[in-house]
A and B are shown apart, each in its own frame.
Chain A
């Protein structure tokens, strides 16, 4: 192969010479920007794709082209684009690689130059209006066949990188007009295929999932996005499972890193040692990927929100992948059989002796997600974390609304120990991990909500997150009421957390009112109590727990008294909050009835028995013996809730989120990760 020799020579020259002796490829690029390059050399294009691409040069060259020049060289750029697409069909893999990289540079360069330009101008400049449709069709078809074919894994990886590059080339994905062609010529099936196959999922799963999440967000609210439609009807279990696995692994990775860091901070020889050992398992670029996980979280959201079949994947148990990051390493090794991920083939059946570590705890995507959420929610000051926390709560909202998800959340036979991360706080000791009992998953969700409520009462009040949090609890209670599920949960913790929240709202009334409608939150909280008071018979686990509810209300009666005074005051004044406050006054009617009924009884009991301080048992006794004289008012609509809908409420959030993810992905798409040497080595063995 003479060309390969030439190439080798070239490479040597570039590495040795420091003089501005230009690379041949650079000269060729220059030629494109001057005149029709094929005029003098008919084999120009053939040769070009044999050269190692100089991405920086090509991009900068494209950026420097100014207005008039554009007109002049547009044909040449169109031609370059055309030949790139054609080269993708070449048998010679080097050409394909170079063409892919060149395309990347083209997309980037042209967009960089014309940030303000309309999408149509960009299309015109790249492909020419009249031919754009055909060119993009060809491009997408070629990419599709490369992705689905049996070709090199590095090529597939590069294809995905190109697509990611194309999708994130604008800050706002919806302004990226070229994507219109990606909508018409869907690569959805190719993405699914990658996800359904164990080995390709291991290597390209992450990119595929991120790509899918981004494509789904293209002009989501304005037009019919075929990716949304398609994603919503996927019902192939191996594929959905594969998608779940990718998300699972990414989140597990994050959780582990966090844990390692935490252990490191706590010090100790052993922990540092293990984290050092573990560190070796991650390649560096993986870590950079996991700084924030919004892209993967967005994918999880879209899957949960759009595809109801995906809900089953959440509960799909997998033995926890400890150090199972191996399939994610970019080196094209044959991945180890990931436990439990083999798609329904006879693999597992034929191989009853799977490698098994008895210490592995069984886990599933939902558990991993809850752990992840518990970490992310700890600190919502950072904007990325705030976004992540919000997205986590939105996902939980969707889950809490899904009947199937609720069914397995409450399934008494599916008990798990979920180690949620808790923020170290002054007034409480860090819970010992080992003592967490094995319970239905909904307990972990409730724990997480309680944890959030307790830990975020701060000046910079995350009102939005609190609302979501309380609504999630409400939805779960509604499900329990409807299905008469008597969950053995320590409801007391929830009650006291909610009462403390009310207390916080009261004491920070003025500062909070400046920014938020605290009455809405207060109403939701009071209505949670109303749920327990009026419907407690349908879902409380023991009759004692109903007594305890009353005990807790009576014990903390001052909070409710103060709240009532406050809302009464606001509702009698004319003002912005008049109506909101008056709703709270109505909602408080039963709580007040309870307090007014039992307080005198307790006092008289104390007086009669000459006890200054009643014990809990004594109070409960008073409560038990005085139910019959108490009348409550049945409130309407306590068990009804507003269903989650993305539009219009959340649209702005998602737009912003997708923008930030786009920026992040663009930054991290590194085409250079595949060095030419690696590729050459690989392809020399292939061809």
Chain B
């Protein structure tokens, strides 16, 4: 059944592309002509519909609907023209028009389809029901339509209407409208979309599905993201229903890799073809216009495909022994199913490592094991794999295994890895970089290329193609002969170090002069202590807390160091990413928190209130595994206190300078702004388990809360205490200059402004949470009052003065709260966290 549904559902998009071989993305040029044609030609078919569907139809309504749709169409077209410039959009655009086209112009065929599979025929359905509704309440309907057409109508609203509207027509319309939103904006709501797909009724699911399927066809990463989320959010269903649920079916479909782009569509041709005669634009079966357009694009299509096959070759190369992979036959047979495989394998092996680490008793063993496992993983890289938490397209080329650290956790083994990637235009089509053996480090090269980091994109692209092929052994031999390294090295390091010890380095050159050179022993000793003092404060290595040292190192420093040590470091598009791999933890709540944080952040930005928060990206892989984007340049307050043995204020003074210096003042301001942000977050989301291990301090003085395992209705071990609204210890207040200080008042003012701004856009926040509550067993939704409680905390009814009072109370309460202190003590006793 599912298959046939799928065969049908993409058809509306196919109608524009009469040529059987053309993919939706390739029919692009032909669409303007096809959509210009409808207005005159469309009226009769509409009439047909109105006759067929409703005996008594107001002609004007149909016209309104039609105009509305055309406007949408027009807008989409406009967007399309703009959107064609960035390459990744080009694939998505043409389709958005096709459903509306079907809506306006499809005559008989649609009617036929309605009769055959009514729930499935979305496009006509929307017209039909819209009209039906219009009959009841024409004014409301037109208002709604106008809203939908307006510029203000954004994804957030679309999602909200999709969730709240009981009208299948509206839902279907929004389902189509999704196509016209920028991908990134829809992606933000992907968890909501998929959760609705899984847990809500058929109509919503049917409205969403075409969009999801379409995007899956386009993008590997979207496919995988959907598959992971579908799996994760289906897991709360009862096992028997789960197996047959829509979510599970769609997940299977995606993972079976049925949803392939262009090339694999051949077997659907009959269907596509049969619809062509009904295509309103081309009166004969294969109109010359669209075909010509298709031809015009075909060269680009061909190159596109070639690069893809190149890429798949390198996948099979990296995933198989070279001997077999060099056999062209093997490659071609592997060409297709390998689309999703490398990334899935990559993720799987990262999870496998986590599972195996969990069996080891000590941190030290875990760390060693992690390093050795990752070094093996390196053998399989580079490959067409990427970190989904990254913001740009790339290929993973190497995992600097010795840099990986096991994080502090009692029974699970989350770990942090750094990942070297090469940025590329598109990870699906750009070819996978060639492997460079581990020991081909060119220190000179990496130094030469370091300034290149700041060059423009064109330069970068240019120099990338210039990069020689390092597989050439002769070249490798001659360039980094071991003998040369001796000479190279001192230069490298005088470059990076300052002139403190210039003297010692210069001694080599003093070979030339015959006069004896004298040095004072005192100078040597002084240089030694100066250099040691100058070195940035590092934490002492502690085998029981390996992550402290790794996290303390400034990110730029780490990037520089890893880059120098990497065989890929000389490449201009080299980047370093990091990711925390969590195995055995449910990150769905974290994802929810991330979304709320992100939403609040953009609200505050929009309202120009300087509250600072740092949402960190979450990747949910299943209901018990996932990845987290680490916050760079940050260590936990626990680590700060344990390593420095100082109070927070003293530590900040040590790191940034005296209380009157600009460095300290800006750190203090950052601290206050972030405190205000997170205080509000903690209050609104009822974030619990706020011990010092869960609060980070970054190099600029911001605090960052992590671990949103206990939010909304859940609290650790259901211990009643930790009742204060948020964590505000005297130490925090001290950093802000005491409860009477200006900064403290600033803190309270920020909170007020933040709350007012958040209140204004409350719906955007509520909606995220509300949709995720559907069908969820997550502890944060425990009980019935979760949503009500959340809504109440926005205090819509209070005046601003009252709000100010409320903030004062909250701050006062938190400051005087014994429970915070108690809770820290409790954590110290149970988990050894200071």
Contacts and interface: CB of A to CB of B under 8 A. Distances in A.
B415 to A, nearest CB: 13
Contacts of A637: 508, 511
Interface string B522-534: 1011111101100
Interface in B359-401: 359-361, 364-365, 367-369, 371-373, 375-376, 379-380
Interface in B124-155: none
A37 interface: no
Interface stretch (A139-147, A179-187, A401-409, A446-454): A401-409
A311 B504 contact: no
A545 to B, nearest CB: 9
Interface stretch (B218-226, B230-238, B317-325, B626-634): B317-325
A628 interface: yes
Interface in A328-366: 340, 342-346, 348-350, 352-354, 356, 358, 361-362, 364
Contact of B565 (A308, A407, A594): A407
A631 B520 contact: yes
Contact of B372 (A317, A401, A482): A317
A23 interface: no
Interface string B482-515: 1101000110010001000100100110110000
Given A349-B352, A540-B528, A543-B532, A627 B380 contact: no
Given A412-B541, A482-B489, A482-B493, A362 B368 contact: yes
A236 interface: yes
B356 interface: yes
B59 interface: no
B532 A352 contact: no
A352 B528 contact: no
B187 interface: no
A394 to B, nearest CB: 16
A414 interface: yes
Given A404-B441, A634-B518, A358 B360 contact: yes
A530 B371 CA distance: 37
B493 A349 contact: no
Contacts of B526: 627
Contact of B365 (A340, A358, A414): A358
Contacts of B783: none
Interface stretch (B108-116, B343-351, B736-744): B343-351
Given A238-B321, A362-B369, A483-B493, A348 B349 contact: yes
A416 B543 CA distance: 11
Interface stretch (A64-72, A531-539, A676-684): A531-539
Which of A308, A361, A537, A540 has the largest count of B CB atoms less than 10 A from its CB?
A: A537
Nearest to B320: A345
B437 A362 contact: no
Contact of B493 (A416, A484, A536): A484
A448 to B, nearest CB: 20
Contact of A636 (B380, B402, B507, B518): B507
A413 interface: yes
A316 interface: yes
B411 interface: no
B484 to A, nearest CB: 10
Contacts of A533: 521, 524
Contacts of B565: 407
Contact of A344 (B361, B379, B511): B379
A662 to B, nearest CB: 30
A125 B532 CA distance: 74
A627 B521 contact: yes
A362 B355 CA distance: 17
Contact of A319 (B321, B352, B355, B369): B369
Given A356-B356, A483-B489, A643-B483, A534 B507 contact: yes
Contacts of A260: none
Nearest to A640: B508
Contact of B504 (A364, A408, A535, A631): A535
Contact of B437 (A237, A345, A631): A237
B230 to A, nearest CB: 21
B372 A340 contact: yes
A633 interface: yes
A538 B437 contact: no
A482 B522 CA distance: 21
Given A345-B320, A546-B528, A404 B439 contact: yes
A342 B321 CA distance: 11
A235 B359 contact: no
B758 to A, nearest CB: 43
A604 interface: no
A627 B526 CA distance: 9
Contacts of B477: 233
B438 interface: yes
B376 A348 contact: yes
Contacts of A354: 352, 356
A455 interface: no
A317 B489 contact: no
B643 interface: no
Nearest to B318: A344
B516 interface: yes
Given A309-B437, A632-B521, A414 B371 contact: yes
Contacts of B532: 486, 542-543
B403 interface: yes
B60 interface: no
A414 B437 contact: no
Contacts of A344: 318-319, 321, 379-380
A579 interface: no
Which of B359, B379, B521 has the largest count of A CB atoms less than 10 A from its CB?
A: B521
Nearest to B403: A413
A196 B379 CA distance: 13
A338 to B, nearest CB: 12
A414 B372 CA distance: 10
A536 B529 CA distance: 11
B368 to A, nearest CB: 4
B473 interface: yes
B467 interface: no
A651 interface: no
A312 interface: yes
Which of A342, A343, A402 has the largest count of B CB atoms less than 10 A from its CB?
A: A343
Contact of B473 (A233, A414, A415, A546): A233
A438 interface: yes
Given A344-B321, A352-B349, A643-B483, A632 B520 contact: yes
B457 interface: no
Contacts of A408: 402
B517 interface: yes
B519 interface: yes
A317 B380 contact: no
Which of A349, A354, A401, A483 has the largest count of B CB atoms less than 10 A from its CB?
A: A349
Contacts of A138: none
Contact of A361 (B365, B403, B517, B522): B365
Q: Top 8 closest A-B pairs, CB basis?
A: A352-B352, A317-B372, A627-B522, A628-B522, A537-B528, A362-B368, A543-B529, A634-B517
Interface of B: 318-322, 345-346, 348-349, 351-352, 355-356, 359-361, 364-365, 367-369, 371-373, 375-376, 379-380, 402-403, 405, 437-439, 441, 443, 473, 477, 482-483, 485, 489-490, 493, 497, 501, 504, 507-508, 510-511, 516-522, 524-529, 531-532, 541, 543, 550, 565
11 contacts: A238-B321, A312-B437, A344-B318, A413-B371, A413-B402, A483-B493, A484-B497, A484-B501, A538-B501, A632-B518, A637-B511
Interface of A: 196, 233, 235-238, 241, 308-309, 311-312, 315-319, 340, 342-346, 348-350, 352-354, 356, 358, 361-362, 364, 401-404, 407-408, 411-416, 438, 481-484, 486, 533-538, 540, 542-543, 546-547, 594, 624, 627-634, 636-640, 643
Given A241-B379, A486-B532, 9 more contacts: A237-B379, A309-B439, A319-B369, A352-B349, A401-B482, A413-B405, A438-B364, A627-B520, A640-B508
